[in-house]
Chain A
Amino acid sequence: MAAHDVMPDTQLYQPVELDDALNLLHRHRGEGWLLGGGQDTYGWLKDRAKHPAAMIDLNGIDELRGIRETADGVEIGAVTTLVEVIEDAGIKRDFGLLTQAALRVASPQIRNVGTLGGNLVQDTRCWYYRRGLACYRAGGNTCYADSPQGMNREHALFGASRCVAVSPSDTATALVALEATMVARSRRGERLISADRFFVGPNTHITRMTELKPDEILTAIRIPSKWAGKRFYFEKVADRNAWDFALVSIAAAMSMENDIISEARFVCGGVACTPYRLRNVESAVTGKPLSDESAEAAATLASHGAKALNHNHFKVPLMENLVRRAMRA
């Protein structure tokens, strides 16, 4: 399947009100495609692997844009660009974990147009799926990446259920660590979904990566002040330093009291279909200081339960090392 240079013939809608966008989504049920920065979308369309009848461009809707302080933290509109998130002084000061994660997304050009919402809801990068093959995720009945001949170097260590694709989002791990809440709107009203529950694995939704229903739009991301100014660590390991997806990444938020970790959230990217909470690491480090000794103890727990595929065994020591590095004083 050759990539095409031109866009396919499709209807473009540019609503300026959220309600109009929701009505358009309802009208084109199953055939409409929400457009943010387009960095995930255009690849799909140019490869002719997806064929939406209508594109609904959300960029003209003001209420979906911008960063606002709230009584309990901050709210970021879903079509706020990644560069706007990175440059926001308040986010940099209080939620530097998100700044660091956003800074590692793709390339400067992509961060200029790519949106936070788009980065969160982007589809997986499994090349079998992206190529348009009828795998489980595309509504088929097999997983090519998980076959004996499958190339699965970038695929999942945890939570595989028929499909072994991973979540490609860098900002998702940070937002799960920061206990963010996703705001979803549909014609039925508003729904708040915790970041922990927002990303879903193939055991529940094999053709979707998020809890968003087909008639819902992610409108905003709320980050509570609970983790503001705490100790953060983000690191992403990829084949290239720019314009590449994580092989494994880690986002850690730690609340310190007298140099002791009183509460922690460790989240790995690139190892499961969702941002993967390292709950056993979180329990193990609580009450411990940042030290090589506690880093070592926590690291060995990180990969507990991992089921490596034919070509991704390297991810096991990689995630252990990332936990070690996050725990170094």
Chain B
Amino acid sequence: MDLATYKQDVWGREVILGASWDLLWLVVVAAFVIIALHAVAVAIRRREAKPSSRGPRVARHRGIDRIFHWVMAISVLVLLVTGIFPIIGLEFSWLTIHWIAGLVLTAAVLFHIVRSLFWQDLRTMWISARDLKEPFDTSQKPGKYSVAQKSMHAAVTVLVLLVIASGLVMFAMIDTPWWDRTNSIAESTLGWVFLIHGLSTLALIALIALHIYFGLRPEKLFYTRSMIKGWISKNELEAHHDPERWAPDKSS
């Protein structure tokens, strides 16, 4: 199965056309298999007692960060629906919705970058050598974010930046309220742009499927609640986090 599809340009030279959408089914199946294997593995593993959500609470996500997360989530889902559905045969007038959602995502990401650089502690998301011990040593508890959460964030960061950068180039090729299309990008360059946009989208589909799965798992549901309501209980904090590495009242 190829990563890319090819075409002949106007001069008869072979150039990249874009990502091979046959990969979509591979990505969907791979994500499903990983999710199924994980679900089975967790089911046969001995269940640990779930810490209570009652009692004192600590702040995990501020309102502004929760709004950012859900704006980004909605825009990414809209982008996936409007980008992928026409490819699998559910055709509708998608382009305008797609670029508007793309602009919302771009604005949200820019906001997040500025906020992270100047108002938040970048180290809370940085993957350290100590984080890498977590999966192999159950005594190692994470700070605010687990190594899995940090890895997911790093991967989503790279992919979203790729999809935005390539999307903005494609955006210049269509009419918008601010400019008329120029359609003057060389075909070979365009092929690379479509390829990057397509492959990063495919990878995002897999990551988002995993993200939603983990967000809905019973033992992780308190993280999803914290992304809605902003808090976790002190019991949950003590059960899942190292208070020395994350003191919520100071960092959040």
Hey, which bits of chain A sit against chain B, CB under 8 A?
Answer: 133-134, 140-144, 146-148, 150, 160-162, 203-205, 307
Minimum CB distance partner of A204 in chain B: B93
Residues from chain B with a CB closer than 8 A to the CB of A160 are 175
B25 at the interface (CB under 8 A from A): no
Within 8 A of A (CB), among B162-221: 173-175, 180-185, 187, 190-191, 194
Q: Quick check: B10 and A133 within 8 Å, CB to CB?
A: yes
Q: Quick check: B184 and A134 within 8 Å, CB to CB?
A: no
In the complex the two chains form, what is the Cα distance from A162 to B173 in whole Å?
A: 8
Q: Quick check: B17 and A134 within 8 Å, CB to CB?
A: yes
Q: Quick check: B93 and A307 within 8 Å, CB to CB?
A: no
Q: Quick check: B93 and A203 within 8 Å, CB to CB?
A: yes
Min CB distance A308 to B, Å, is 11
Min CB distance B88 to A, Å, is 14
Contact of B194 among A141, A148, A150 (CB under 8 A): A141
Q: Quick check: B174 and A161 within 8 Å, CB to CB?
A: yes
B7 at the interface (CB under 8 A from A): yes
**Residue from A143, A144, A147, A307 whose CB has the most chain B CB atoms within 10 Å:** A147
In the complex the two chains form, what is the Cα distance from A160 to B181 in whole Å?
A: 10
In the complex the two chains form, what is the Cα distance from A203 to B93 in whole Å?
A: 5
B95 at the interface (CB under 8 A from A): yes
Minimum CB distance partner of B96 in chain A: A203
Q: Is the interface of A mostly helix, strand, loop or mixed?
A: loop
Contact of B175 among A140, A147, A307 (CB under 8 A): A307
Please list the 9 inter-chain residue pairs (A to B) with the smallest Cβ-Cβ separation, ordered nearest first.
A134-B7, A203-B93, A204-B93, A146-B183, A147-B183, A141-B194, A148-B184, A205-B91, A141-B190
Known: A141-B190, A161-B95. A307 touches B183 (CB 8 A): no
Within 8 A of A (CB), among B63-95: 91-95
Q: Quick check: B191 and A141 within 8 Å, CB to CB?
A: yes
Residues from chain B with a CB closer than 8 A to the CB of A143 are 183
Residues from chain B with a CB closer than 8 A to the CB of A150 are 183
B143 at the interface (CB under 8 A from A): no
B252 at the interface (CB under 8 A from A): no
- Give 12 A-B pairs besides A134-B17, A141-B194 with Cβ atoms closer than 8 angstroms: A133-B8, A134-B7, A134-B9, A140-B17, A141-B17, A141-B190, A142-B183, A143-B183, A144-B10, A146-B183, A148-B183, A204-B91
In the complex the two chains form, what is the Cα distance from A203 to B18 in whole Å?
A: 19
In the complex the two chains form, what is the Cα distance from A147 to B18 in whole Å?
A: 19
Q: List 5 A-B contacts (CB under 8 A).
A: A133-B10, A141-B187, A162-B95, A162-B174, A204-B92
Contact of A141 among B18, B91, B180 (CB under 8 A): B18
In the complex the two chains form, what is the Cα distance from A103 to B146 in whole Å?
A: 74
Residues from chain A with a CB closer than 8 A to the CB of B91 are 204-205
Minimum CB distance partner of B170 in chain A: A141
Residues from chain A with a CB closer than 8 A to the CB of B7 are 134, 140
Residues from chain A with a CB closer than 8 A to the CB of B92 are 204
Min CB distance B231 to A, Å, is 45
Min CB distance B194 to A, Å, is 5
Min CB distance B198 to A, Å, is 10
In the complex the two chains form, what is the Cα distance from A162 to B190 in whole Å?
A: 14
**Residue from B7, B96, B174, B184 whose CB has the most chain A CB atoms within 10 Å:** B7
Residues from chain B with a CB closer than 8 A to the CB of A142 are 173, 183, 185, 187, 190
Min CB distance A231 to B, Å, is 34
Min CB distance A264 to B, Å, is 27
**A-facing mask of B1-31, CB < 8 A → 1, else 0?**
0000001111000000110000000000000
Known: A160-B175, A162-B173, A204-B93. A146 touches B181 (CB 8 A): yes
In the complex the two chains form, what is the Cα distance from A143 to B190 in whole Å?
A: 12
In the complex the two chains form, what is the Cα distance from A204 to B185 in whole Å?
A: 23
Residues from chain B with a CB closer than 8 A to the CB of A161 are 95, 174-175
Residues from chain A with a CB closer than 8 A to the CB of B190 are 141-142
In the complex the two chains form, what is the Cα distance from A162 to B183 in whole Å?
A: 9
Min CB distance B14 to A, Å, is 11
In the complex the two chains form, what is the Cα distance from A143 to B10 in whole Å?
A: 11
In the complex the two chains form, what is the Cα distance from A141 to B170 in whole Å?
A: 10
Residues from chain B with a CB closer than 8 A to the CB of A203 are 93-96
**Residue from A133, A141, A148, A150 whose CB has the most chain B CB atoms within 10 Å:** A141
Minimum CB distance partner of B185 in chain A: A142
Residues from chain B with a CB closer than 8 A to the CB of A307 are 175, 180
Residues from chain B with a CB closer than 8 A to the CB of A204 are 91-93
Q: Quick check: A134 and B174 within 8 Å, CB to CB?
A: no
**Residue from A142, A143, A144, A162 whose CB has the most chain B CB atoms within 10 Å:** A142
